[in-house]
Structure 1
Amino acid sequence: MAQPLSGFTVVENDSFVAAPSACLALSQMGAEIIKIDPLKGGPDIDRWPITAEGRSIYWGTLNRGKRSVAIDLRSEEGQELAQSLITATGDEPAKTGIFITNNVGRSFLTDDVLRAKRDDLIHVKVQGSADGGPGVDYTVNAETGIPGITGPAESPRPANHALPAWDLLCGQAAVTAVVSGLLQRSTTGEGTYAEIALKDIALSAVANLGWYTEALQPAGEREKHGNHIFGTFGTDFTTSDDRSVMITAITRRQWQALVDSTGMTAVIEALQTALGIDLSQEEARYAQRETLEALFKPWFAARTLDQVSAELAGSGVLWAPYRSIGEVAREAAGASAAGGSEDAGTGVIRGLASDQLGDMLVGANPIRFDGEYLSGEQPTVLGEATHEVLSEKLGLTQTELGRLSDSGVLNS
């Protein structure tokens, strides 16, 4: 199918996760992404994880499918080139003039400067905080209060999580800002300047879950309680072969399926009678979560993972085995090698060959258009498209490109 953003050109000047992930998502929907990089790359060019040769898997994965243009952004000529790329109209002005950034301190890329060159510019800026202060996912997360309710119940220390969730959510908000800007420009002819603070993303998300309102209730702040699901019953269990599974019983149907499948009907009925409670109610299951965990624990401990899987198959119990990153990677790599990219559960993960990084595993766009994942992006090499893009977009001749290379504005 035709990609929804085919023909659109987006220019980015950014680093790390939020803004690059936004541009990756736009690329996967068909947009051409021109990434303006410093000559030696941005501060994330060597960010871990890395290959055995020391090349950044992080940078190469988040920035694939983009045309990297490496410019000396400290020089006046380099700054003018960057401005020209961002504000170029091309043959279809309605599909150009889109800029995403998270840079700080580059006065030549402020909205006032760029909008003076193109007044219908769609400019999306990702920030740390709304007052312009710095912030990354890890510091923002600390300020949300989430680490205080994460981790083992017996630990007084806050617990971070490994996933940069706020960065990823911020990236998708940036995509929304771009699409909203395009809609506004198509209907009014006006451009957009949208600022998105990572801290605002996190605080807004937690507030919209009702968690801050909850903290003001008479019961006070929520306490951490390990892997138990708040407000219902769900936790992890260990099998006889030392595998872990996550069991959830959120709805009445799921709860009844768990009770029936594990042969616990009589035990649960006796517990309800003894305590005068109704465990079909979520709040009752949550209140008795530790007792229920102890009751179900022997059933899982007496079975291997394969046996648990066989006995719960088709039962209506909502559960999943815990898998390591390596297990997921090996399964996806095997499916890719076998041509099984459409296999359920791995269809969104694809193999991609890269001269710099070797065999990569990358994610397709998780939005399935007409039942299909959109993918097909190619690896990106720092500065590889510099001369091609400047010639194509700005009309620079080989002589001009040579002069810029000789003067150090561009790499040779």
Structure 2
Amino acid sequence: MSETRPAPLAGLKVIEISAFVAAPLGAMTLAQLGADVIRIDPIGGNIDANRWPISDDGTSIYWASLNKGKRSVTLDLKSEEGQKIATDLIAEAGTLVTNLPARGWLSYENLSQHREDLVMLRLNGSHDGKPAVDYTINAASGFPIITGDDERPVNNAIPAWDVAAGLYISNGIIAAELERRSSGKGQEITLALSDVMLATVGNLGYIAEVQATGKTRGPLGNGLYGAYGQSFATSDGREIMVAVISNKHWRGLGKA
């Protein structure tokens, strides 16, 4: 019988105060790695507690899916009593993930007075602190212009930048936790949804392409830029996607 090993983040306690996709996904990823994640919501539920899709009994499938493996506390965070209870929970845990404005009682300056080695990760919309959401950030990336097969911009149905930011959040907390274990010091980490998008666009070569060629890509439809890819309708009414990115793929397609 094999020995059951503890989860990688067993023993790490995280407080989450957030809404919508990126921060809850980041905290859920930490929970899946073994962290004890406690989510604090307003009494009566957060702004996205009833977001679609919903089940027949009115339960938000979206909310339940993003908060698997977490524990839950509801507090009136507008009251001094609620803020004190939340502060005590954060101080006891030592790690906080939030996408709320970090000012007043929720500021790092205040919370670190209650826990000197506090690790706090705060997600903003833009690098300058202004609000933004996945779909506005995606529009700014230019990707809607090359989505679809005509000149109308088409936004992505998948909140890709929220998902990417959520994984950056979990990586950021893990990195800060490793640093704290070696140095004994906490830190505040600020992450912006817009910076996640810009870093990704840069890493994939889109920025350098415009700098080098002075051109942007037009609508691609289901075509695959830089290789062969296209969708086809079959005689039995289905749609298939064929992608070829290597010589082996070409040989396999020819054989097929």
Match of 1:277 in 2: none
1:243 paired to 2:247:
no
The aligned length equals 252
Tell me which amino acid in the other structure corresponds to 1:45.
A
The whole-number CA distance in structure 2 between the counterparts of 1:17 and 1:7 is: 25
The whole-number CA distance in structure 1 between the counterparts of 2:242 and 2:198 is: 29
The whole-number CA distance in structure 2 between the counterparts of 1:29 and 1:260 is: 44
1:184 paired to 2:179:
yes
Task: Kindly report which structure 2 residues correspond to 1:324-343, keeping only aligned pairs within 5 A, or say none.
Answer: none
The whole-number CA distance in structure 2 between the counterparts of 1:161 and 1:176 is: 24
Contact 2:223 2:229 in 1 (8 A): yes
Task: Kindly report which structure 2 residues correspond to 1:196-211, keeping only aligned pairs within 5 A, or say none.
Answer: 196-211=191-206
**Where in structure 1 do 4 or more consecutive aligned residues deviate above 4 Å?**
none
The whole-number CA distance in structure 1 between the counterparts of 2:10 and 2:43 is: 29
The whole-number CA distance in structure 2 between the counterparts of 1:48 and 1:104 is: 25
* CA deviation after TM superposition for structure 1 residue 106, in Å: 5.1
Task: Kindly report which structure 2 residues correspond to 1:366-405, keeping only aligned pairs within 5 A, or say none.
Answer: none
Residues 198-244 of structure 1, C-alpha deviation per residue, up to 9 Å, x if partnerless? 01101110111101111233361111121010011111112111111
Match of 1:146 in 2: 143
Residues 40-62 of structure 1, C-alpha deviation per residue, up to 9 Å, x if partnerless? 12111111111122221111110
Tell me which amino acid in the other structure corresponds to 2:239.
S
1:168 paired to 2:172:
no
Contact 1:206 1:212 in 2 (8 A): yes
Match of 1:111 in 2: 108
The whole-number CA distance in structure 2 between the counterparts of 1:140 and 1:236 is: 28
Contact 1:237 1:244 in 2 (8 A): yes
Contact 1:236 1:246 in 2 (8 A): yes
Residues 56-89 of structure 1, C-alpha deviation per residue, up to 9 Å, x if partnerless? 111111012111100111110110000000011x
1:121 paired to 2:118:
yes
The whole-number CA distance in structure 2 between the counterparts of 1:180 and 1:200 is: 18
1:28 paired to 2:23:
no
Task: Kindly report which structure 2 residues correspond to 1:13-412, keeping only aligned pairs within 5 A, or say none.
Answer: 13-88=17-92, 96-104=93-101, 107-152=104-149, 155-218=150-213, 220-261=215-256
Q: Which has the higher contact order (CA 8 A, sep 6+)?
A: 1
Contact 1:215 1:222 in 2 (8 A): no
Contact 2:123 2:193 in 1 (8 A): yes
Residues 138-197 of structure 1, C-alpha deviation per residue, up to 9 Å, x if partnerless? 111011111111111xx2111111100100100000111111111111111110110110
**Residue identity (%):** 42
The whole-number CA distance in structure 2 between the counterparts of 1:198 and 1:247 is: 33
The whole-number CA distance in structure 2 between the counterparts of 1:235 and 1:115 is: 54
SS of 1:79's partner is helix
The whole-number CA distance in structure 2 between the counterparts of 1:50 and 1:106 is: 33
Contact 1:51 1:57 in 2 (8 A): yes
Tell me which amino acid in the other structure corresponds to 1:48.
W
Which stretches in structure 2 are left out of the alignment for 5+ residues?
Answer: none
Greater Rg by CA: 1
What is the aligned counterpart of 2:15 among 11, 15, 19?
11
Tell me which amino acid in the other structure corresponds to 1:112.
E
The whole-number CA distance in structure 2 between the counterparts of 1:219 and 1:82 is: 51
Contact 2:102 2:108 in 1 (8 A): no
Tell me which amino acid in the other structure corresponds to 1:199.
S
Tell me which amino acid in the other structure corresponds to 2:44.
K
Contact 2:102 2:122 in 1 (8 A): no
Tell me which amino acid in the other structure corresponds to 1:111.
Y
The whole-number CA distance in structure 2 between the counterparts of 1:119 and 1:105 is: 17
Tell me which amino acid in the other structure corresponds to 1:80.
K
Tell me which amino acid in the other structure corresponds to 1:150.
T
SS of 1:116's partner is coil
Tell me which amino acid in the other structure corresponds to 1:203.
L
The whole-number CA distance in structure 1 between the counterparts of 2:197 and 2:213 is: 25
Match of 1:269 in 2: none
